[in-house]
Every structure is written in structure tokens, then in C-alpha cells.
Amino acid sequence: MKVVFADKVDSHCSATLERAGIEVDDVAGQGDEALLQALAEADGLVVRSATQVDAKLMDAAPELKVVGRAGSGVDNIDVTTATARGILVMNAPGENSLAAAEHAFALILGLSRNLGPASVRMRDGEWSKEGLMGVELCDKTLGVVGMGRIGREVAARGKAFRMRVLAHDPFLPDEVAEGMGIEKVDLDLLFSESDFLTLHAPLTDKTKHLIGADSLSKCKKELRIINCARGGLVDEGALLAALEADKIAGAALDVFEEEPLPEDSPLRNNPKILLTPHLGASTSEAQEKVALRIAEQIAAYLNEGTIQNAVNLFSVDPEQAAMLDPWLKLAEGMGRMHAVLAKGSLEEVSVELSGTVLDLPGPALVSGALQGLLSGFLSREINLVNAVSAAEEHGLKLAEVRGPDPEGYLGLIKIRVSGDGGERLISGTVYAERYPKVVQVDEFFIETPLKANMLFYKNDDTPGRLAAITSSIAAHGVNIADLALGRDKDSGTAFSALHLDAPLSEDALEALRSVDGVTWAQPASFPSDT
């Protein structure tokens, strides 16, 4: 396994990966050609915010399995394209939250006391206080847009400075706001009443230019804006116009619409703007923490398949991963079994979960089922990351259903697949938290694990059929390891699942199909015991 570093990261990252037996190729700062060449055999890629992980870059990395962002934001990664190609995108959220929050508050303090221009004057040999009158934070109103980890840390610091704190976040629970002693408000109220406004929201189509001409027109003249989140949140032209017209008092920017900030940017020339070069996460502690975290996550994924802090897939902690693993194998195996038994085109897939399996992440099991199913139909590689997008791309209707408590089982998965060949149901469970088995195929109740060298067949349920079938298999020198049989008395039909010591030859399969009473037979082989 090889992981490429496209951007400079703390040395703990490479050390952690190498201890996990993973080769590291650090090409940070060596240019595009060196990066593209290194990616030719890369299984993983580590970036910060500088490298754009786009389709062109992914084209150069045919073996790429995971992109790790040493930080939280993934605006520089084409997550949609990565998902379609089965590439997991993960980040390290929270590890730099304190650093970012402290930097945002440092900018609040710097703006409040005009520290930027004051420092410039002193360096220029001046001793002048003119125009440097500041304001106190106590009793001022701090508006916080986005109350994730960073926003909450900033809000807590605002409260410590005895500020009134207003917050806007559609996902902020009322009880959390009440517990923090802050007011949850809409954007218009936040714009109109804030003395300081700090942004901690992701950049989306809805939040792009959140601070623009319209929102700035609603603000008081004393407002000072701080942005340590994403450059696109602020319309820089509108911000400059508002500052030059004295419609607001100041701004502090750590992120920009174009980075690095061009040398001739007018932002550099306005004394009311305090500028820093994207330093939000630039503390030694934060860089060490994100480096360790992303390295541990990448190693766990490449070596064990454990998924943590995924941006384009479900995430599970190690304890939950152990519980999920046998159910995930079961779902994938049942999907593969559906592919083996399918007739005609597919239209709908329904995954019904009941009992203890409801405590596990449903999307993971849906992805597992689709991975197994589509791998039997599509030539390209299908994995947990791209299974859902591949299904949607091919027009499949998907459903995750919460079922009633199962009778006779602690937990149960039912996968229904329908199309122009009709509908088929396969049900499965996990025994003793580690032994996955299929327990039902349509109207037939059986109990079988899914292994290599299997044979499924139907026959008339009459005396002597089983003996004739097993004799036919034995006549071709193949031993039967185990057999599971289900009967439907109404139709007089039996369905069997056999595990063989070796695969049947074409001649042996043809002979079996010609046995009197055998109505259908299909060999199958599953990649691992499920």
C-alpha cells in the first residue's frame, strides 16, 4: 500500500502510516508533474487545502481508494466525482476546532482595538494614536453564523467576554442554545443587531456570498465582520464597497475567494481590513492532531476496511464496526445471491431492517447490499462508496425500510429485488454476533452461510430426488460439504443450497440439470464466508 502526500503535513502523519506498514511518498511542493507521477500507483492521498483534487487528478490515480483531508473542509475535493469512482473521502473534523476558534477570536480582539494598523505605524517609526480608538467587547452583540464545533467554541468565548451572543444554525437544538445562554435567531435579526459577526458555516450553493450587498444593507454601521471559515461566504467586492462607504466599521479575513490572495488585491490596501493568510488551523498542536487523526483513519481503512469521518459514506467507531462487520458481509452476500438468482432487468431494491440490526447504520447495509448486487451486473468495480450512486445512475429505485420485530430472530435483513423478471426475497440473520446466514429465499426457509463453490437448485419435492441429485454430483468426483433444503408444500417444490469441495464442471452441471425432477440449477461462488 502506498499513500502520497500532496501538501505539507506534520511528520506524525508519515510516521503513523509507516508504522502501519504503509509506504509514504511525500511530493509536497514538487509540482504537478511529480504529483501526477506519484499517483500512478497510489492507494491513498493526503491533502490540506492547497491541492485541488479534481477529475484530472483522479484520472492519474487508477488505484486510488481514499483521499484524506488533514483538516475539516473539503471544498478543494470533488467529492461527487470521487464517490462515482468509489474513492472514499475522509477528513479530521474537530482536531483543529480550538485553533480555528481561537484565531477567530484573536481577529475579533484585533479588530476591536485596531491592532493591525497600530502595529504597522509602530514598525514605520510612528507614535500616533489618531484613528486607533477601539471598542470594548463587554456588552456588545456577537453574531455567530454556524454553530458546529468551531462556532460553539467562539460563542463560549464571547460569553466569557460578557457579550450578548446571537446564533443562526438550522441544526442547533433549542436546548443547546438555552444551555449556552445564547439566543437562536434568524439571519435578518442577526445581521441587524450584531456588533461583531463571525462566520463558521460550510460553503454551499445556499451560503455562497452570504455576506453580500443585500445582507450588508441590513447591518449597523458599527458592525465588524470576521471570516475564518470559507472565502466564498463573503462577496469581497460588496464588502469593500460597504467599508469604503462607511456602511460597516471593519472586517478581518483569514480566507479568501482566491487563495493565495493576489498581490494586487484591493483588500490589501484597505486599512479597515485585518488580513491573515489562512492561519485558522496553523498551530503546532492542531497540525499534530490532524496529522495523527488522518493517518490513523487512512491506515484503518486500507488495512482493515474501518471507516471513520467519511464525507461521502457512513462512519462508524471501532466498537460499532465490530458489530457491523458480520451484518455488512451478510448484506453484501445476499446482494450477490440476488445477482445469481436474478432474471431480467432490475427496477427496485428494498432493504428491510428489523430487530437488533436497527441499532446499526442502515445506509451502510443498503450500500453493502447494492455492492453485492451490482458487482454481479456491472463490469466496473463497485464498492461501498459508489454503490448507491451507481444504482441511481442505472435508474434503480431504492428503499430502506424499518420492519417489525422479527419472529424467531434477534435481528433480520430482508432484501427484495424486483424487475421485469418478478420479485425475489432473500432474508438473512447473524447468529451469536458473528455467523451470518441466509434463512429464506422467497417461500423457502433454509439456513445456509454463503461460501465459495456453492450450488443452488430447485426440484420436484418427490421421493428419490435428493438421492438422484447427490449421486449425479458424486459421479463427477465432487464431494458435498454441506446441504440446506427448504420445502414449499403448496407447490410441491424444494429449494436447496449446496456447498461443494470443488466447483462443478460444465459437464457435471449439464448432467445435474438433466436429472429427472430438477427444474433449475445455478452455481455460485462468494468471495468469503458470509
Q: H/E/C letters for each residue in 121-162?
A: HHHCCCCCCCCCCCCCCCCCEEEEECCCHHHHHHHHHHHHCC
Is residue 70 within 8 A of residue 309, CB to CB? The reply is no
The Cα diameter of the chain in Å comes to 108
Query: Is a pLDDT exceeding 60 seen at residue 530?
Result: no
193 is catalytic: no
CATH superfamily name and code, 449-530: ACT domain (3.30.70.260)
Residue intervals in the chain for CATH 3.30.1330.90: 319-442
Which amino acid does the sequence have at 147? M
Is residue 446 within 8 A of residue 484, CB to CB? The reply is yes
3-state secondary structure (DSSP) of residue 370: helix
| pLDDT score for 424 | 96
259 is catalytic: yes
What mean pLDDT comes out for the span 432-438? Answer: 93
How would residue 167 be classed by pLDDT, with cut points 50, 70 and 90?
A: very high
Radius of gyration of the chain (CA): 30
| pLDDT score for 317 | 74
Of 10, 183, 6, give the one whose Cα is nearest residue 96: 10
CATH superfamily name and code, 2-94+285-304: NAD(P)-binding Rossmann-like Domain (3.40.50.720)
CB burial of residue 118 (10 Å; 0-12, 13-18, 19+): middle
Q: Which of 85, 278, 293, 336 is catalytic?
A: 278
| pLDDT score for 45 | 99
DSSP output for 170-193: TT--HHHHHHHT-EE--HHHHHHH
Mean pLDDT of the chain: 94
305-to-77, 270, 318, 375, 384 alpha-carbon distances in Å? 22, 51, 11, 18, 10
What mean pLDDT comes out for the span 492-511? Answer: 95
Grid cell at residue 102: 481561537
Query: Is a pLDDT exceeding 70 seen at residue 277?
Result: yes
| pLDDT score for 419 | 87
Neighbour tally for 79: CB within 10 Å: 15
| pLDDT score for 75 | 85
Query: Is a pLDDT exceeding 80 seen at residue 105?
Result: yes
Of 369, 11, 33, give the one whose Cα is nearest residue 24: 11
How would residue 529 be classed by pLDDT, with cut points 50, 70 and 90?
A: low
Please state the φ and ψ torsions of residue 118, each to the nearest 5 degrees.
-65, -45
What mean pLDDT comes out for the span 287-296? Answer: 96
Q: Which of 103, 152, 230, 293 is catalytic?
A: 230
Query: Is a pLDDT exceeding 90 seen at residue 263?
Result: yes
Query: DSSP label at 269?
Result: G
Q: Which CATH class is domain 97-275?
A: alpha beta
230 is catalytic: yes
| pLDDT score for 16 | 98
Residues facing 497 on adjacent strands:
456, 484
How would residue 353 be classed by pLDDT, with cut points 50, 70 and 90?
A: very high
Residue intervals in the chain for CATH 3.30.70.260: 449-530
Percentage of residues in the chain having pLDDT higher than 90: 83
Burial state string for 206-230 with b = 16 or more CB within 10 A and e = fewer than 16? ebebbbbeebbeebeeebbbbbbbb
361 preceded by cis ω (within 30°)? no
Q: Which of 178, 259, 285, 433 is catalytic?
A: 259
Is residue 25 within 8 A of residue 3, CB to CB? The reply is yes
Which amino acid does the sequence have at 180? M
| pLDDT score for 343 | 82
- In angstroms, the CA 471 to CA 179 distance is 74
What mean pLDDT comes out for the span 403-409? Answer: 93
**CATH entry, 319-442, from 3.30.499.10, 3.30.450.30, 3.40.640.10, 3.30.1330.90:** 3.30.1330.90
pTM given for the model: 0.68
How would residue 118 be classed by pLDDT, with cut points 50, 70 and 90?
A: very high
Of 58, 49, 56, 48, give the one whose Cα is nearest residue 88: 58
Query: Is a pLDDT exceeding 60 seen at residue 69?
Result: yes
- In angstroms, the CA 49 to CA 520 distance is 57
Of 387, 364, 392, 385, give the one whose Cα is nearest residue 376: 387
How would residue 528 be classed by pLDDT, with cut points 50, 70 and 90?
A: low
Residue intervals in the chain for CATH 3.40.50.720: 2-94+285-304, 97-275
What mean pLDDT comes out for the span 73-96? Answer: 91
Which amino acid does the sequence have at 239? L
Query: Is a pLDDT exceeding 80 seen at residue 344?
Result: no
Lowest mean pLDDT among 32-41, 73-82, 150-159, 376-385: 376-385
How would residue 505 be classed by pLDDT, with cut points 50, 70 and 90?
A: very high
